[in-house]
Amino acid sequence: SLALLFFLFLVAVHLATPRSRTENLLRKLPSPPFKLPIIGHLHLIGSLPHHSLRDLAKKHGPDVMLLRLGAVPTLVVSSPRAAKAVLRTHDHVIASRPHSVVADILFYGSTDVSFTPYGEYWRRARKVITTHLLTAAKVRSYRAAREQEVRLVLARVRAAAAAGTAIDVSEILGFFANDIVCQAMTGRLPREQGRNQLFRELLETNTKLLGGFNLDDYFPSLARFDLVSAKAVKHMKRWDDLLDSLIDKHKSKTLDGEDEGDFIDVLLSVQQEYGLTRDNIKAILMDTFEAGTDTTYIALDYAMAELMQNPQSMNKLQAASRASTRVDKHRYDRVIWG
């Protein structure tokens, strides 16, 4: 049958793959005894992977443990001592993420900051973001945009309250985070109908493609047969068209003398200084958009959920916020959190 032929093909690939010196060293590490041919320990990972890894580590490797996820050796670090050795002493050795075919497709050969290998380009791309995009002055310059988005959120909440309808707080916070990042990226460009919605759709698909089960993540030699890669190529075309359009519009516009510009303006202004190609700029923009939206949304959503479950903390926060901003409504740095 077709299934049997595919299984035999996997066996042949597995047997034909030579073992490296690193592979032989890894074999000396503690490992669960229930490894199956071809898939390794994949069958031991349940729907909550972090719980599965915790339980396996308790039994088989309280410090470090080696798992075989398909054809990929995976080191699980569980103790503070081992974590310090990995994250501090030898951090430069394992600073790079595992190679991902999907990330290569989505981020222009993994030339963003998240997936690019640790090295000179990573340092250069990171410096662009920390020096030019995420400075305190640049963050303050987007205050008006943040206030505008807050007003829009409050208007939606008031409208829902007046109509007596329920609201999905997580959804509203997701829109809020997305719209703020869109404002920071595109600045004074007119809001085109549906553009922010397109950003949201593209971001959600990114998450599904990168976070789902990708055959090449566990069997790199079978990357050519991975249907997810074909979906990523099609999805990437939508990103490419959108980012090219935004860059072209920024190149054709003229900045006011006092206008510091948005993210795209800044990247274009330092393109030659940092040796960035157009694709590098698009990869960094996509990375910034994804990281900015996800981290903001997750933090707000988690904080709101915790506050709703703890009314005393909610009351304390409200009182501190009102007291600290009575004189200057913009000075939230005066609020004592805790």
pLDDT score recorded for residue 252:
84
Domains in the chain and their CATH numbers? 20-94 (no CATH), 120-291 (1.10.630.10)
- Do 32 and 40 contact (CB within 8 A), yes or no? no
pLDDT at 233 over 80: yes
Q: What is the pLDDT of residues 323-337, one digit of tens each?
A: 766 555 555 555 444
**CA pair distance 325, 323, nearest whole angstrom:** 6
pLDDT at 2 over 70: no
C-alpha dist (Å) from residue 262 to 25, 158, 246, 255, 284: 49, 31, 12, 10, 14
pLDDT score recorded for residue 137:
83
**CA pair distance 327, 318, nearest whole angstrom:** 15
pLDDT at 71 over 60: yes
pTM: 0.80
pLDDT score recorded for residue 93:
84
Task: Provide DSSP, 156-219.
Answer: HHHHHHHHT----HHHHHHHHHHHHHHHHHHTTS---TTHHHHHHHHHHHHHHHHHS--HHHH-
Q: Give the pLDDT band (50/70/90) at residue 123.
A: very high
Q: Give the pLDDT band (50/70/90) at residue 26.
A: low
Q: Give the pLDDT band (50/70/90) at residue 28.
A: confident
Q: What tokens were used for 200?
A: 């949201």
